[in-house]
Amino acid sequence: MPALRDSAFWQTGALCCSLGAAGAAVVSIAASQLLLGAALACMLAARLRWRLPQGWPLLAVFVLWTLAALALSDAPAAGLPQIRKFYVWLTLLAVLSTVESVRHARWLAWWWLAGGAASALWGCGQFAVKYLAAQRAGADFYAVYIGARITGFNSHWMTFSGQMMIALMAGLALALWACGEPRLRRAAWLGLALMAAALVLAMTRGVWIGAFAGSLYLLWQWRRWAVAALPAAAAAVLLLGPPGVRERALSIIRPHGVTDSNLHRVYTWRTGVEIVRRHPWFGVGPERVGVRFREHIPADLAPEPPPGYYGHLHNIYLQWAAERGVPAALAAVLFFLWQLVLAWRRARVVPDGERWVHHAAVAALAAVLVTGLFEYNLGDSEVLAMTLGWTAVSDRLGRPGAA
């Protein structure tokens, strides 16, 4: 077929599959990774020039240091899943090499709005089912729900919450600056409302804080007086929201024993610091933190940790440093911080029609990095793919030649 020999055909395929890979991450990591593979194949067929992100030497250090940490680990084969995860990082290169215009950013934002709203609606239905089941059983809804929260189209509430948060940042920027037609604006706000409701019902406190930080930035950049609406909305949700939401918010300072993860986080954070102190250069190896957790529990803590998941440290900064070494962690964190600074700078100088893209990048990166204090969110392929996807869009549109 002549079309198969046409470079433009493969370029179009690469663009659609790259945006599809980033867009599908909000609903299905399997679809996202299949589309990423298709995008890479189309890029090779079209002989596209592969663009590297600004700050790529930092990523090179992160990758090479991770490989060194793997080689020095006590069980290198156990760390191979983290090496395979570098495949997801190719989302950055695929989107960066194929996106050309603000129109493509708008497509991705709308895909996230549509997919995120559908997943959020499903999650709200899950909440209703769980609440009614607890009522029929006469059980304490809060105690039952915290260990089995809504997940939308995903398998875990933390991943689901991270997806909703990033989609909210992109969608909110779109609604505030780039929805001129009233019909589209109404659709955007409906999708945002569904995702915000699902995020509240998922009761993930760290993501609440991250989403608040990102939204605060967007509202400040849009209309400074509008930032007052955010704490007012939060107060209204706490006072008028479903049972358990207020309890969950108060649990930050007044936990329900071991039902909430406060003590669990003390163990993971302090043990993570101890691992880094003992193994600062190359850590204990990828995927080895959970296995070697107990041998690093500080002496002043009880040797038996409270219930919770100890396969990672629930903190991207400690996790990367503990399993790969401080240099690897610094390289990765500095890369994302540099991308945030670059997006902030672009938002100050680009034309009005493009500014929303970079504001969304600042908000999304800020939200992810703040949430990373409380959860290993970039360890989720879905959250990582979405973060890298929008980072690449902002990076590409900030370069000469983009339209």
What is the per-residue pLDDT across 278-327, written as a single tens digit (0 to 9) for each?
999 999 999 999 999 999 999 999 999 999 999 999 999 999 999 999 99
Number of structural domains the chain divides into? 1
Residue 155 within any structural domain of the chain: yes
Whether 276 is in a domain gets the answer no
Q: Evaluate whether residue 42 is within a structural domain.
A: no
- Give the residue from 60, 59, 31, 21 showing the smallest Cα distance to 390: 21
The whole domain housing 188 covers 51-257+313-397
**Residue 403: how many other CB atoms lie within 10 Å:** 9
Asked if residue 114 belongs to a domain, the reply is yes
Residues 6+ apart with CB under 8 A from 266: 301
Handedness of CA 52, 54, 57, 59 (dihedral sign): negative
Helices marked H in 47-101: 56-72, 80-84, 86-98
Residue 107 lies in a domain: yes
Q: Is residue 152 part of a domain?
A: yes
Task: Confirm whether 384 is domain-assigned.
Answer: yes
Distance (Å, whole) CA 262 – CA 125: 28
CA distances from 279 to 74, 283, 349 (A): 13, 5, 43
pLDDT in tens for each of the 403 residues of the chain? 555 667 899 999 999 999 999 999 999 999 999 999 999 999 999 999 999 999 999 999 999 999 999 999 999 999 999 999 999 999 999 999 999 999 999 999 999 999 999 999 999 999 999 999 999 999 999 999 999 999 999 999 999 999 999 999 999 999 999 998 899 999 999 999 999 999 999 999 999 999 999 999 999 999 999 999 999 988 888 888 787 898 998 888 888 887 778 999 999 999 999 999 999 999 999 999 999 999 999 999 999 999 999 999 999 999 999 999 999 999 999 999 999 999 999 999 999 999 999 999 999 999 999 999 999 999 999 999 999 999 999 999 998 777 6
DSSP count for the chain of H helices, then E strands: 17, 0
For residue 174, give both structure tokens.
């779109």
**Domain-located, residue 156:** yes
